[in-house]
Structure 1
Amino acid sequence: MARPRSTLVSVEDTPFYHCTSRCVRKSWLTGVDKYTGQSYEHRRDWVESRLLELASVFAIDVSAYAVMSNHLHLVLRVDIFEANSWTDREVVEHWHQLFKGTDITQKFTKGEVIESVEVSSLKHSIAQYRGRLSDISWFMRALNEPIARMANKEDNCTGRFWEGRFKSQALLGEAAVLACMAYVDLNPVRAKMADNLEQSDHTSIQLRIKSALNGEQPSTLLPFVGNERKDMPKGLMFSAKDYLQLVDDTGRVIRNDKRGAISATSLKVLQRLNIPQANWIKLTSGFSRLFKGPVGTLEELDAYCEHLERKRRQGAANCRRWLDSA
């Protein structure tokens, strides 16, 4: 039985979550249908464009993504602090980029006089919007629903486009986050849809590589900010160069038709994560098969389950085997 989303999200334990949406019946509704030959590849661009647009509206950062032929992988970071730092006007302006709001919120953004009897309703709406703008369920709703409507209109049909419920799992430590990001970024290479990372269309790794060629990082993705230090900016505490090297090395190893090995630079990253090379290859090859629930060390898993009052530690055996076995 599916759990309520509120019993899966604990920002006290982690802001990072791996989310997956699949097309109904695993049909190739965003790729090339193997049976009819019909191409829907252009819809992958729809998804990617919408995703990056939402990253600028919500207090949710995109760390990694891969838009595949019949499913979508995301690694998201919820930023409660950003949502709480917005002024009331900023909250409403963000919300109105996606939704109409109410007559009162429209008056508020236009600077019109708010009657005393409307103040309570306005405050309620602002509080509601602030919560929704840092809510993964609302993020996925704002992503998936417009794509479904566009696809149904194109196909001149009605009905579901995505499966009814997206899947999400908590990533409880930096080892789980980085392994999941690499797993997501390597999707096209593993599926042999691309020969290398540069050719992995509609992925975050391709976007990061393009920006890296100009000595930059993508403004639409959560950046890599290096090692922990004073006045630490928001981001992933690794070097962007090291991450790109690690994912490239890993992709060469997991492709049976390519020779490759983990470089000394990448081995240092794995040592910092306390993950043996063999475990890393297993994690980045089959993350979704290995873990159906929260992912982290047993200590991290215990804290997460305690906060959410969950008696059963789902996936504890694989967490121990692949993340606690160093």
Structure 2
Amino acid sequence: MTIPRTQLVSPDITAYYHCVSRCVRRAFLCGEDQLTGKSYEHRRYWVEQRILALAQVYCIDICAYAVMSNHYHLVVHLNRQKAEQLSDREVIIRWGKEHQLPSLILKYLKNQTTNSEIQACRTIIYLWRERLYSLSWLMKEINFSIAKQANQEDQCRGHFWEGRFKSQALLDEKALLAAMAYTDLNPVRAGIAKTPEASEYTSIKRRLDLLNAAQAPRSRLFPFVGESSHKKSDGIPFRLIDYIEWIDWVGRQIREGKPGRIDNKQPTILIRLSTSHPDNFDLCTRLERKRCLWVGSSKRLQVVKHRLNRQRLHGLSI
């Protein structure tokens, strides 16, 4: 039975989600077409830049991403608190970066509206505020833009993406860590990159590149704030150096059915992550199990099951 999107994505349950969106057919519409030899590699850059651009508009933080040849992964944090703290004018400015503002809102900005018009404007602004932390709206605007560009380039019409995006709710920090590692290691597992730092169009490469840059620009990614931080909405609750080591460790493990891994001859990172390596590696290998829509501890899964009043929950217990 189809599960409503309102139950799959609920900020009241968790703010973290792992999303996947795939191209139609089995063609490499973002990479290199093996039949014709034509390269569409530049479209991976389109997707990456679109994700980073919308991160500046939406109150949705980008934790991790990986743009592959025919699909992309995205791990996000829905920052509803940030959206609710924006003033009405800030909401309008954000929404206006990507959308044409109606004349009524333009009058509102110039303080030229009547009392009845002000109420109408506030209704519109309320709707926009909710959309600024809506995962469905973010994914829609990423995919629509890329599909439009690709169809114009190919001089064709029709679907570019394979239906709606798939999502997994990440119910705790362990699930978040596994989803981010799974995402950042996608090129290594696919055998198209030898190391995370050589993985093009991934968040881990972007973070590492910015660390090495003399004058680093804004990363536009959700920052790591460390496990000691109690303000989880301000960043990812791990230290960046620990996460880098964790990626290195997981990437060296042989995964059944996947050709790629980090060669053990590569230099190791010595700092160890305090969480259990075997448990988390096992979770990474099971993350895309069919019908897995919620990821978290058994206790958290039971809470969600009770909250949604469901008899059965298609979740992955960790």
What residue number does 2:211 align with?
Answer: 212
Aligned residues: 311
TM-score (norm 1): 0.89
Classify 1:294/1:227 alpha carbon distance in 2 versus 1 (closer, same or farther; 3 Å): same
Work out whether 1:55 is the aligned partner of 2:60.
no
Instruction: Give the Å deviation of 1:298.
Output: 0.6
Match of 1:252 in 2: 252
| Structure 2 equivalent of residue 279 of structure 1 | 279
Q: Which runs of 5+ in 1 are unaligned?
A: 272-276
Cross-structure match for 1:127: 126
The CA deviation at 1:280 is 2.5
Q: Please, which runs of 5 or more residues in structure 2 have no aligned partner?
A: 255-259
Aligned residue for 2:274?
Answer: 269
Which has the larger helix fraction? 1
Q: How does 1:14-163 map to 2 (within 5 A)?
A: 14-109=14-109, 111-163=110-162
Tell me by how many angstroms 1:103 deviates. 1.4
**Residues 24 and 160 in structure 2, CA contact (< 8 A), matched pair in contact too:** yes
CA distance, structure 1, for counterparts of residue 147 and residue 153 of structure 2:
10
Amino acid at match of 1:313: L
Corresponding residue SS for 2:72: strand
Change (3 A) 1:72 1:230: closer
Q: Deviations over 1:113-159 (max 9, x none)?
A: 01233122101100000000110000011111011000000000000
Give how far 1:201 is off: 0.4
Mapping 1:176-195, distance limit 5 Å: 176-195=175-194
Say which SS state the counterpart of residue 69 (structure 1) adopts.
coil
Aligned equivalents of 2:14, 2:70: Cα separation in 1: 28
**How much is the aligned-residue C-alpha RMSD, in angstroms?**
2.2
- The residue type equivalent to 2:95 in the other structure is W
User: CA distance change for structure 1 residues 233 and 301 in 2, over 3 Å: closer, same or farther?
Assistant: closer
CA 257–60 in structure 1, closer or farther in 2 if over 3 Å, else same? closer
Aligned to 2:257: none
TM-score between both structures, scaled by the size of structure 2: 0.91
Answer yes or no: is 1:197 the counterpart of 2:203: no
In the alignment, is the contact (CA less than 8 A) between 2:21 and 2:161 conserved in 1?
yes
**1:289 equivalent in alignment to 2:289:** yes
Q: Is the 8 A contact 1:246 1:262 kept in 2?
A: no
Change (3 A) 1:26 1:120: farther
Identity rate, percent: 41
Q: Could you list the per-position Cα deviations for residues 253-275 of structure 1 after superposition, in whole angstroms to 9, with x for gaps in the alignment?
A: 23457227987633x4324xxxx
Contact 1:208 / 1:218 at 8 angstroms: preserved in 2?
no
Deviations 1:69-96 (A, max 9, x none): 0001000100110000000000011111
Please report how far the alpha carbon of residue 227 of structure 1 lies from its aligned counterpart in structure 2 after TM superposition. Answer: 2.4
Amino acid at match of 1:74: L
Q: Which amino acid aligns with 1:199?
A: A
Residues 194 and 262 in structure 2, CA contact (< 8 A), matched pair in contact too: no
Post-superposition shift, 1:101? 2.9
Question: For residues 223 and 257 of structure 1, what CA distance do their matches in structure 2 show?
Answer: 25
Would the aligned equivalents of 1:175 and 1:296 in 2 still touch at CA under 8 Å?
yes
**CA distance in structure 1 between the partners assigned to 2:43 and 2:224 by the alignment:** 29
